[in-house]
Structures are given as C-alpha cells and as structure tokens.
Amino acid sequence: MNCKKIGAAIALSVLALTSSAVRAADYPDRPISVMVSYGAGGATDFQARIVTMMAGGDDFLTQPIVIINKPGAGGRVGWNWFASEADNDGYTMAAYNIPHFVAQSIEGGVKYSTDSFEPIANWGSDPAVVVVGKDSKYNTIGELMDFAKENPGKVTLSGAGLYVGHHIAALQIEKASGTKLAYIPTKGGGAAAMKAVIAGDVIAGVNNLSDAYRAQSAGNVKILAIADVQRNEQFLPDVPTLMESGYDVDDSSVNFRGLMVPKGTDPAIIDMLAAKVPAMFESARVKKQMDAGGSPLKIMKRDEVLQMWKDREVYLTELLAGLK
Amino acid sequence: MEFMQYFGGVFEPLSFALLVFGTVGGLILGATPGLSPTMAVALLIPFTFQLQPTQGLILLGAAYTATVAGGAVSAILLKIPGAPANIATALDGHEMAKKGQGTKALHVSFLASGVGGVIGVLLLIFLTPILAKWALAFGPPHLFWMAILGVTIIGSLDSKSFVKGLLSGCLGFWLSMIGYDDIQGAQRFIFTDALTGGVNVITALIGIFAIPQVIEMFAKGRKQVVVSAIKVEKQSLADSLKLLFQNIKALSIGTVIGSIVGLIPGVGGQIAGLVAYDQSKKFSKHSEKYGTGHPEGVIAAESANNAMVGPSLVPLLTLSIPGSPTAAVLLGGLLIHGIFPGSDLFENHPQVAWTFINSMLIGQVLMVIFGIWIASYAARVAQVPSAIMAACVMVLAVFGAYSVQQSMGDVYIMAALGIAMFFLEKFGFSAAPLVLGLILGPIAESNFIQGSMIANAQDGPLPYFLFGPLNIFLIALVVLSIAYSFVMSRRQVAQNVALQS
C-alpha cells in the first residue's frame, strides 16, 4: 500500500518534470484564466465572457475559461501585470484592445509593447462613430465640420479617455478636416461620454458603434458618421463612413478585441490555441449572444492579427508623434 | 398601474426560487468584506446565461437589493463596511454591537433598509419619466458643486475636532490623486506598479476600518486572558418596529436624501449614506449621541443607501445610461439577453421590465425577513474573544482586499493604509472623513477639469460654473452648510466656556 503511494508520488513528480513538449501535449489539463484589463460589466468584459463561454466543449479547449478583471488606468494596470508577472505556461491569457495598448506603449510609461505579447485570435471589432444629441442642429458630418472650420476649438467632442480608439478617431478627424476640436476625455468610460452627448454637455461625441446603436434605437442620439473603411451593414446600413463623406479617416481607431498570451509561451501551445480558439469564436451560440448584445463579431486568425498589430504600431507612432 | 399585472411573473415557482436564492446569496455576498454590490452582481451574470431574460433579471435585481443591505452586517458586527454605502452604518452600528445591542442594530438596519428600499422602487415605478429628466440635468459644473457640498460635511462627520476632520478629508483627497489620471494623462505619485490604477476605495475602506481594530484587539487579547463576555441583549421584532417609528424623522431624511442622491449619475450610492447620516445628525435633537451607538444614525444611513437602489436605475432603464457601476454591470446582464434598455424596454418587453422592477420590490420584503431571521444569531459575533475575532477579521480583510481585483498589491496597500490609520486614530483623526475625501476627490477633480475644458471652448469658466438655476441652488446649499457648521462650532465653544466658568 505504502509502496504504491510512493510509486505514485514518484510518477507524479517525473510527470511534472518532463519536457515542455510533453506538457504541451497535455495542455490544457486545468481551467485557463483570461485577464480582462477593464471592470466587470464593461464592453470588453462582457464580450470576453460571451466568446469564451464555449471553451469547455470537447471540440474546443476541453477546459473552461475563467475571467479575471484587473481594471485601472485605462487598461494599463492589467496589461502591465500581464507583461511583467503573468506565467507564460499557457494557462494565463488576456484580452487585448487595439488601438489602446499600442497607443499607450507609444505614449510611454508602461511595461509593454506589441513585442511583449503573442496574439492568439481576434473576436470582435467595434468601430468609433460620431454622435450628436437627438435635438442637435447638425444632421450630417459635413455640417458639423463646416461649423468647426469657422469656429476653431469651439466644437466639444466627448470620448472615453486618452489614447483610446475614440481619442485616435478625434485626432484623425482633426487632421483630415483641418479643424481644431476640443476633445473632452471623460473619466467614466464610454457610458459617461455618451451621457455628456445625450444631456447636451458637449456638442458632439465619439463613441462605440454598439453603444451608439443602442442610444440611437432609444431615440437619444443621431449617428453622423462611422470611422471605418466600410459601412456597417448589419447595424447601421444608412450611416456613411467618414471616407465617403470626404474625410480621409481609415479604420485605425476601430477597437479590435481578441485573446493573447505573454511572450515566451511554448510555440506548441500557441499553435494549438491559434487553431482552436477561432473555431470557438465561430460557434453558433457565441454568434447569437454577440448579435443580441449589438456587438459586431470579427474573427481573425493569428497571422492576420500579427499583421494588424504591426500596421497599427507604424501608423499610430506617426499620428501620435505630433502630440508629445 | 401597469406594474400590477406583471406581479404574477414573480411568483412562478422557478422565478420565486431564484428570487429567494438571489436574496439569501446577496445577503451573504454583501456581508463579505470586499465584495461590493457591483462585484456580487457581476459574479452572478454568468449564471443568467442559462436562464430566460426575465428570470435572469429577477436573480440580478434581488441580488443587487440584498447586497446593499447585507453590507450593513459586516459594518455593524465587524466595523468593516462591505461597500462605501455602508460607511455611515458602521459609525453607530458597531458601537451598538459593542454594547451588546447587535440584534437591535441589525433589526433597525434591515427594517430601515426595507422601508427606504420599497419607497425607492416605488419612485422608480411611478416617477421614472420625470426623474429621467432630472438625472440628465446634472452636468459637470453641477457634479462639481455636489462634490463640494460633500466636502462641507467632512469636517463635522464623526470627528470631535472640526480641524482634524478636515485634515483627514485632505488626506483622503491626496490619496485619491494617486495613479494615472484619465483626463490629462499625467502619472501621479506612482512609485510602484500596484499604484498605477490608484487607491481603490474598497481596498482603502477595508484597510482603514479593519486594521486599526485588529491591532487594538490583539493588544487587548494579550492584556486580559479572561475575556469578560458581552451579554447580547435580546430584542423583539415589535420593539424594533416601535424604535423605527419613534425615529421617523431620521427615516424620512434618509429615504429622501437617498432617493435624490441615488438619481444623480456618477455620484450615486457611495455618498448617499454619509450625506443622510450627516443631515439627520444636524436636524436631530440628540446630535451629541451620534457616534456613540445611537439607532438614529443606523436608520438614517441604511434607509438612504437602500432608497438609492431604485432611482439609481432610472438613467439605465430610460436612457440606457448606467448611472452607477452596478447599473453598468446590470446593463451587461440585459444586453447578453438581447434586451436594450431605453424606451424600447417598456414598450416591447414590458414583461421583462416590470417583472424585474417587481422582483426588486418583493426582494426588499424578503431581504427584511431573512435579515431579521439571522440578526439574533449574527449578533453573537460580539461574544467571540477578541484574539480570535482579530484573526478572523484579518483573514477577511486580506481576502476582501485581494478579491477587489485579484491583486496582492491591493493587500499591501490595504495593510499600509490600515497601519497608518491606527496611528492617526491615536491622534484623534477618524476614518470616515478620510474615506469621504477619497470618494469625493475624483468626482470634484474630474468634473472641474472636464467642465473647464468645455467652458474654455464656450464662454469661459466663470459663467459656466456660477450661473444657471441649478448651479446657484447648489452653491446656496454649500454656503448654508458651511454657515451651519460655523455657527454650531461657535455655539459649542460658547457652551464649553459657560460650563468651565
């Protein structure tokens, strides 16, 4: 009896010490955690919970995914932790937000850059849109920009904070239209920025497509334009892109969300995740719940995401250079 | 009276079972330090994936109601407020528990919560369209003046000395500045990674309330080996009800202030309890008894923080704007089921909307019943020897601080603030003004800076912050509040002089 126990203990410790290749083969044999660098109930948290809910299925990761929130400082707290302290054994993943973390790393003062992380797959994209209150006298983006041109600095524009998609969109609009806007970052994220528009505290706002779509359905705002390369046929087929309206603004401010692991994770594990995670995002139940929440799905494989990260970094370095 | 016809939905077997589960679970989660109502509701959202939208919302609504009230349990018994809403409850509630009146304190706390809560939900049912306009009327300048109004009560809150109260408030303000500033992008006083996100209010709350106590208890435990057991007084429900009605003034003040403050997006429930406590103290004939274990204080604070629950959902349900962190989490819970709050909710999904609201109404009643039921057992916590108690509180404090954002850094912050508070208390500073400073600091600062940015794009800061009926009204309240404190402190000095001579 005792011998058996000792034998089992030896076997276990041998197992624990075997090479990483064997560990990768067993992966995953316990639940995986996903760190979300925003608070519970926010858009990133809520989408992360939906897209990972099927993880335990036999076709996917066979182990459930647990969401851990580390909010603070616009995501910096969570990503700093992920870059410097998270284990790179494949059991700790994180949600990324582009352009947020790239813009923050360019701004400086954080411990991460695109080199600190390895993307797995992208699940969603939430373009920024320009909104005005329902009683606003502006009905098109052109009217608003004409007013801004005649009155430099007078158009107040709310957004969720600094160095986030909304801020990038505002900077791009200023650059493309040759106007000067008063960008007002709010402390309470996108919801507070939307409240400022609805209550008339500001003339216009930049906000997420999903939130703006809801606010428009509720009859509170008008959506003037969308900062993306093409219209959103699913939710807002009638809203023109900024490009169509004559302002050279591309999709650099679109908020891409996906999963990543820390640098140094076993390549075998990365490959396995990169193969299985997109399939998980594609499952019918995930699509149904994401649609119900008005959150656009945009599934991208690891290679596409790597390219997207690189493109963003080059573009944002250039855009933000003038700001510092 | 549309809501009446949907009452049946609440009493379907599964719905009612969820309601009971949400209430009991909410009470337990709320009583656990570190688990704020926001976190409790967020924890429950994954459970609703498998449920019908209505049932999911019943669970969330019941849990929200019950966690707010449950926070009073740890505030009264352990002097660890479960959430910022319960700070004021701890001031008198814990003193009562120490005297062996824990049952009484819990009884009035749950009864006051129930009364405030029901009235709050009724306001939500009947006045939503009017209240929605009100919620939007508060722009950056008004929120700034609201925060300043809160500052004026710092000096008089739970402090023997006006100056020391203000100094504690200043410390709180300074603590609130730590971290990354979202509006201007400045990094302030960040010496270590743990401070990048600033000092979390709940972490601070646990540290400065629990740790000084733990140190005191350990010190006492060493000194006297034989602990004189506190006799826990029995308290009948009838007596508690009588006590509640004797203090109808505190109850009304709490309910009214809670409803109004709860409505304002961004200020929300965090300060409702404290403002109500302070006002009821100012209007009371026995203001000197506040802070020594006076039931009035518990009644005012608890009726206020539950009255805020209903109105705090008005901006969410009518305009789809979450007015508080908990409302933001509830929004997530709604969206997951494909329900968009807003006018659409009441028109196209009346059953969901009204069943949710009704469940909060019934939830309030269930919460009172379960709360009263556990009160007499829970109050025996006061008999636990202080050495054992200290160890238990320490475990809860560490657990609570860690669970806020799964970070050891928060535990160190909690411990550091707690040890500092122990010495500050020795010099006559108290914890409540410090926390109020920590809560109000960001509200005042961000709204001032945002307001100035908007004002600079328009007519300049002076008219923006000083003109308009709401600005003038709030400034008048600020002036009145300062004048009152000034007159009272003069009167007290005069009395002391008279007594001495």
Decide if B319 and A220 are in contact by the 8 Å CB cutoff. yes
Quick one: pLDDT at residue B326? 83
Q: Search chain A and give the residue with CA nearest B141.
A: A201
CA A6 to chain centroid: 49
Residue ranges of the domains in chain A? 2-125+255-321, 128-227
Give the span between the Cα atoms of A308 and B190, in whole angstroms: 32
Quick one: pLDDT at residue A1? 42
B49 contact partners, CB below 8 Å, separation of at least 6: A53, A289, B56, B336
- Runs of H (alpha helix) within B7-157: 7-10, 13-31, 37-48, 53-78, 87-98, 102-137, 140-154
Give the span between the Cα atoms of B327 and B139, in whole angstroms: 19
Residue A186 backbone zone (phi > 0: left; psi -120 to 50: alpha; other: beta): beta
Inter-residue contact B197 to A72 (CB < 8 Å): yes
Provide DSSP, B97-137: HHTT-HHHHHHHHHHHHHHHHHHHHHHHHHHHHHHHHHHHH
Decide if A292 and B340 are in contact by the 8 Å CB cutoff. no
Quick one: pLDDT at residue A172? 94
B180 → closest Cβ in A74, A184, A214: A74
Which residues are paired to A126 by β-bridges? A255
- Show the tokens assigned to B23: 């209430």
Decide if A154 and B180 are in contact by the 8 Å CB cutoff. no
Q: Search chain B and give the residue with CA nearest A198.
A: B136
Tell me: pLDDT of A103 over 80.
yes
Q: Which residues of B touch A106 (CB under 8 A)?
A: none
- Which residues 36-55 of A have a C-beta within 8 angstroms of B? 39-42, 45-46, 49-50, 53
A103 contact partners, CB below 8 Å, separation of at least 6: A163, A164, A167, A168, A316, A320
Quick one: pLDDT at residue A19? 44
Class of domain A2-125+255-321: alpha beta
Q: Is A151 on the interface with B (CB under 8 A)?
A: no
Counting every residue written for chain B, the total comes to: 501
B193 → closest Cβ in A80, A185, A291: A80
Count of CB pairs separated by less than 8 Å, A with B: 162
Give the span between the Cα atoms of B66 and A287, in whole angstroms: 33
Tell me: pLDDT of A34 over 70.
yes
Inter-residue contact B176 to B438 (CB < 8 Å): yes
Average pLDDT in the A145-156 region?
A: 94
Give the span between the Cα atoms of B450 and A184, in whole angstroms: 7
Sheet holding A182-185, edge to edge: A182-185, A156-159, A204-208, A128-133, A221-227
Q: Which residues of B touch A74 (CB under 8 A)?
A: 180, 182
3-state helix, strand, coil in chain B (%, to 5): 80, 0, 20
Query: pLDDT tens per residue, chain B (501 residues)?
Result: 677 778 877 888 888 999 999 999 889 888 887 777 887 887 787 777 778 888 888 898 888 889 888 889 989 998 888 778 888 999 999 999 888 888 999 999 999 999 999 999 999 988 887 777 777 888 899 999 988 988 888 877 766 777 888 899 999 999 999 988 878 888 889 888 888 888 988 889 899 999 998 998 888 766 655 445 567 777 888 888 899 888 999 999 999 999 988 888 777 667 888 889 988 988 888 888 888 889 999 999 999 989 998 888 888 888 777 777 788 788 877 877 777 777 777 777 888 888 888 888 999 999 999 999 988 888 888 778 888 888 888 998 998 888 887 888 999 999 999 999 999 999 988 888 999 999 899 889 989 999 999 999 988 888 899 998 999 999 999 998 888 877 877 777 787 777 776
pLDDT in tens, B178-206: 988 878 888 889 888 888 888 988 889 89
Inter-residue contact B419 to B211 (CB < 8 Å): yes
pLDDT in tens, A264-298: 999 999 999 999 999 999 999 899 888 877 788 99
**Which percentage of chain A shows pLDDT scores above 70?**
92
Give the span between the Cα atoms of A60 and B421, in whole angstroms: 50
Q: How far is CA B405 from CA A182, A256, B192, in A?
A: 34, 24, 16
pLDDT in tens, A175-190: 999 999 999 998 877 8
- Show the tokens assigned to B251: 């109850």
Inter-residue contact A125 to A98 (CB < 8 Å): no
Residue A163 backbone zone (phi > 0: left; psi -120 to 50: alpha; other: beta): left
User: A20 pLDDT band (50/70/90 cuts)?
Assistant: very low
Burial letters B376-393, b for 16+ CB under 10 A, else e: bebbebbebebbebbeeb
Look at residues B68, B78, B82 and name the one whose alpha carbon lies nearest to residue B105: B78
Tell me: pLDDT of A49 over 90.
no
Inter-residue contact A72 to A105 (CB < 8 Å): no
- Show the tokens assigned to A136: 């606003």
Quick one: pLDDT at residue A261? 96
CA B167 to chain centroid: 22
Quick one: pLDDT at residue B501? 65
Q: Search chain B and give the residue with CA nearest A199.
A: B136
User: A5 pLDDT band (50/70/90 cuts)?
Assistant: low
Reported as type and span, the H/E element at residue A264 is: none
Which residue is associated with the tokens 């992966």? Answer: A27
Q: Is A208 on the interface with B (CB under 8 A)?
A: no
Residue B231 is classified by DSSP as P
Tally of CB atoms within 10 A around A103: 27
Q: What mean pLDDT value characterizes chain A? A: 88
Residue type at B28 in one-letter notation = I
- Which residues 227-266 of A have a C-beta within 8 angstroms of B? none
Q: B190 versus A133: which is more confidently predicted?
A: A133
Would you call A206 helix, strand, or coil by DSSP? strand
Backbone angles phi, psi at A129, to 5 degrees: -130, 160
Would you call A136 helix, strand, or coil by DSSP? coil
Would you call A98 helix, strand, or coil by DSSP? strand
Would you call B12 helix, strand, or coil by DSSP? coil
Quick one: pLDDT at residue B222? 63
Inter-residue contact A50 to A59 (CB < 8 Å): no
Q: A1 versus B30: which is more confidently predicted?
A: B30
Q: A316 versus A16: which is more confidently predicted?
A: A316
Residue from A77, A80, A84 to probe the interface with B (highest B Cβ count within 10 Å): A77
Q: Search chain B and give the residue with CA nearest A211.
A: B320
pLDDT in tens, B16-58: 999 999 999 889 888 887 777 887 887 787 777 778 888 888 8
Quick one: pLDDT at residue A15? 47
Specify burial of residue B322 (Cβ count, 10 A radius: 0-12, 13-18, 19+): buried
Q: Search chain A and give the residue with CA nearest B406.
A: A70
Q: Which residues of A touch B187 (CB under 8 A)?
A: 109
Which CATH number is A128-227 given? Answer: 3.40.190.10
Residue from B405, B406, B446, B470 to probe the interface with A (highest A Cβ count within 10 Å): B405
Provide DSSP, A10-41: HHHHHHHHS-HHHHHHH--SS-EEEEESS-TT
Q: Give A27→chain B minimum CA distance, Å.
A: 24
Q: Which residues of A touch B442 (CB under 8 A)?
A: 187
